[in-house]
Amino acid sequence: MGIDNIISLMGGLGAFLFGMHYMGAGLNLAAGSKMKDLLEKLTRKPIMGFLIGTLVTVVIQSSSATTVMVMGFINAGIMDLAQATGVIFGANIGTTITSILIAMDISALAPLCIAIGAVMMLYAKRKKTKYIGQVILGFGLLFQGLHTMSGSMSPLKDSPTFQNFVLHATNPLLGFAVGVLLCAVLQSSSASVGILQALAMQGLMPLQFAAFLICGINVGSSTPPLLSALNAKNNAKRAAFIYLIYNLTGAVICMPLALLTPICKVLEGAIGAPAFQISAFHILFKVITAAVLLPLTGQVVKLTYRFLPKQAHESAFRLEYIDKNLVGNPNVTVLQVSKEIGRMVNLIKENLTAAVNGLENADLSAGVKIRDNEEVLDYLTGEISAYLMQVNNRRLPYNVASYMGSCFKAVNDLEQIGDHCVKIWEQNEKNVDAKIHYTDQAVEELQQIYKQCDALLDEVMLHFLERDLTEDKYRDIRRKEVDISRASTDAQAGHMERVHQGNCTFEQGLTFIEALNSLSRIANHLTSIAEVGHDGDARLQNESSIPGYLV
């Protein structure tokens, strides 16, 4: 096998990988949104999640894309980890469709598919038609790459060294290790199995050894999700562990099965084409594993929590004071809602302080804590808002109903304030990446405006939760918001003056002004909270003479 064959093999592999990715991307564009809706609506039971995961992965040709969708649903609270487990198991089954397509070996049609797909992509006017063209083009490139790979490896049939290796390649641990390494390098189990099938088409890959390689390839396919989960959220890490557990379980079952039973000889006797034999064992690996683990979904989820115990911020994903199932006294309801809003305020204060301090000192150490707090804030916003809508359907005294309406608006303003804290933090990340540092004067201006915002946050929320926002207090809050806005404008003008004097750069200003704008917006949202609180108190005073008023 000379250098020309090696170059041809690399080119064929590149076309194969690109064609597989391009076809999957086209399918995702053409049907991905519908598959996403299907995933969201029909995964309430593990068995349904399994079937939908299989179907979605067959359609979009990517188990990793299915997993990304699933993790998005988990983070949004639409799907829990147990439901996601069924989908991940199904995705492992669905991804075997590629090996079936390869085994069909319709390489003769590859040039025609490439031509048709290219014409559709270049000249079609409708997006849907372009996406279908992309699928056809990717399909053609996949088989053209397979044909090129297979042809480049044909000289190995005349190589005594390779023939001797294949004849004596019976060590299961060697096959397993090579399979893991191959998939870890290619980052694709479908491509790795495709190489085995290309060798089999040339009579260079006996099924007995291919079985051990397939076990290793499936375990190696866990490498991409594990690597991508290193800096991901905890549930994403647990999903990666589920993927690994699935394939390790399959290897533990199928390695002895291939070594100690005549399963490979049975497949060889029942299926004539070597490429189909490899595809059949690959499918068998996935199906047996699913049959074993699907009834144990709950145990698999619990096992992931052994590897990755629940962190403190995850325990915060609950309402500490509100019980949705208990309908209490209206005054108790007010107290419960107020305490949950107080939790939000404490998280916001923590994030605001950490974000500004990080920006002033170019320190990224608080990043994880800020992101965790923001997740909890988003969760609390949704849960408190849903509870307030539930409470609104009950007959309540006017003062309670009025306060609940104010709380609904305040919660959404607090969520927006939390988002601005994250935006300030993102400016810090940009500064660190670009090695930007602020001047002492800029830091002093930033610190002064932050102190004003922090003090305003304390004042507004104290009066809001105590429900004593008088007209004078409201006017004072409006005046302080104007002061913050003017201070921000003055700081921006000061920066421009420093730029003209050569003491600051334009790049520094991009993040500095963005941070100042976020602080101004925080003050604006706080005034909005004061306004709804002030209006609610005014209505309460007007209706206070009506005893037992219900809405």
Q: Is 546 helix (H, G, I), strand (E, B) or coil?
A: coil
Closest by Cα among 380, 390, 236 to 308? 236
Confidence class for position 544, pLDDT limits 50, 70, 90: very low
Q: Would you state the structure tokens that stand for residue 513, as one six-digit string?
A: 């002004």
**End-to-end CA separation in angstroms for the chain:** 85
Q: Is the pLDDT of residue 8 over 60?
A: yes
Give one word for 90, left, alpha or beta, with left for phi > 0 and alpha for psi -120 to 50.
alpha
Output the CA torsion sign for 432, 434, 440, 444. Answer: negative
Q: Is the pLDDT of residue 476 over 60?
A: yes
How far CA 162 is from CA of 178, 180, 275, 307, 329, in Å, comes to 15, 20, 19, 42, 81
For residue 309, the 8-state DSSP code is P
Work out the percent of the chain whose per-residue pLDDT is above 90.
29
Closest by Cα among 302, 306, 293, 314 to 53? 293
Section 87-106 average pLDDT: 80
Closest by Cα among 151, 174, 153 to 162? 153
For residue 42, the 8-state DSSP code is S
Residues 102/194, Cβ–Cβ less than 8 Å: yes
Section 275-299 average pLDDT: 90
- Tokens 């409470």 identify what position? 391
Q: What is the pLDDT of residue 35?
A: 54
297 Cβ contact list (under 8 Å, min separation 6): 46, 82, 85, 86, 89
Q: What is the pLDDT of residue 328?
A: 58
Overall size of the chain counted in residues: 551
CA distance 7 to 525: 62
Identity of residue 168? H
Measured torsion, CA atoms of residues 394, 400, 404, 406, in degrees rounded to the nearest 10: 150
Q: What is the pLDDT of residue 470?
A: 87
The 10s digit of each residue's pLDDT in 26-40 is 766 665 555 555 555
The 10s digit of each residue's pLDDT in 39-54 is 555 555 667 778 888 8
Closest by Cα among 226, 207, 218 to 180? 218
List 550's β-bridge partners, or say none: 397
Q: Is the pLDDT of residue 144 over 90?
A: no
- Which CATH fold topology does 325-543 show? Methane Monooxygenase Hydroxylase; Chain G, domain 1 (1.20.58)
Q: What is the pLDDT of residue 326?
A: 58
CA distance 235 to 242: 10
- Sequence spans of domains, the chain: 3-307, 325-543
Residues 366/432, Cβ–Cβ less than 8 Å: no
Residues 536/410, Cβ–Cβ less than 8 Å: no
CA distance 16 to 141: 6
How far CA 58 is from CA of 28, 97, 215, 349, 400, in Å, comes to 11, 6, 21, 47, 53
Q: What is the pLDDT of residue 543?
A: 41
- The alpha helices in 294-329, defined as continuous H runs, are 297-307, 312-315
The 10s digit of each residue's pLDDT in 289-344 is 999 998 888 888 889 888 888 765 556 677 888 866 655 567 778 888 998 999 99
Identity of residue 496? M
Closest by Cα among 428, 450, 432, 435 to 511? 428
- Tokens 């800096």 identify what position? 231
